[in-house]
Structure 1
Amino acid sequence: MAFKLTLCIILAIAALTLTPPGASGPGMPGFDKLAHFLAFAALTMPMAYTRRFPMMWIVLAGASYGGLIELIQPYVGRGAEWGDWLADGLGAFLGAWLVGRISRRGRAG
């Protein structure tokens, strides 16, 4: 189940980040970075919960996916930004770390 959910999140992120730019999201300052952060936190959560893979691999996979998206975006009329990749990586780390902490507590009791 976690793999299927992760795959759905991967596809949603691809659809939202690799389509030509338009009226995506509110024009609030910082919204883009927050959206990246939250999306990549959500991406790593299901697999982190399963505890099938080392947390470092999950975070690296999430951050690598973010980097790949940033490399592809100029080819679909969007701009690549280091700040977006940083938000992706931080979100991937925090999502995996948070779920790792929660799942450990739930299984200890």
Structure 2
Amino acid sequence: MNKYGKRNLGFGLSVVVGVVVTAMLLVPASDIPGPHIEGLDKVIHFAMFFLLVLPALTFAPSSWVWVVPLAIFHGGMIEIIQPYFGRGMEFGDFVANTLGVCTAIPISRAIHRRWLKPR
């Protein structure tokens, strides 16, 4: 696969994850099954936004200049519109989203250098 195919694969995976993340974060809180564990939602927000940007940043490392701000903006907008979907707006969730995005930057670079960069 050439570099454009890899780049498109990374962006495509990030778009798919983005659609899933958006849908999951707009499900009304009353429809979410399971026990409520304090702080678990922050871990979930972190993981979702980490996984959102990881494919794009891994397959197209230079895209961080627009992928990272766009993902952080997306995380903020999700928090702003969640109250319209029966969810709460929490600054802590936005922080977890942002930390997930920022954590993906060095990890994606390491993955790219180790396994994807031509030698």
TM-score range normalised by the length of the shorter chain? 0.7 to 0.9
2:13 corresponds in structure 1 to 5
In structure 2, the CA distance between the partners of 1:34 and 1:24, relative to structure 1 (3 Å rule), is farther
* C-alpha separation in 2, matches of 1:100 and 1:25: 36
2:69 corresponds in structure 1 to 60
SS class of match (2:27): coil
Q: Deviations over 1:11-68 (max 9, x none)?
A: 1111111121123454212100000000000011011012254424222111111001
The one-letter code sitting in structure 1 at the alignment partner of 2:40 is F
The one-letter code sitting in structure 1 at the alignment partner of 2:99 is L
2:56 aligned to which of 47, 51, 62: 47
2:87 aligned to which of 78, 85, 109: 78
* C-alpha separation in 1, matches of 2:110 and 2:25: 29
SS class of match (1:88): helix
Whether contact under 8 Å (1:36, 1:84) holds in the other structure is yes
The alpha-carbon deviation at position 104 of structure 1 amounts to 1.9
Where do 5+ consecutive residues of structure 1 fail to align? none
2:100 corresponds in structure 1 to 91
In structure 2, the CA distance between the partners of 1:18 and 1:89, relative to structure 1 (3 Å rule), is same
1:16 corresponds in structure 2 to 24
SS class of match (1:27): coil
In structure 2, the CA distance between the partners of 1:90 and 1:8, relative to structure 1 (3 Å rule), is same
Where do 5+ consecutive residues of structure 2 fail to align? 1-8
* C-alpha separation in 2, matches of 1:84 and 1:56: 23
TM-score normalised per structure 2: 0.81
Q: Tell which structure's C-alpha radius of gyration is larger.
A: 2
The one-letter code sitting in structure 2 at the alignment partner of 1:75 is Y
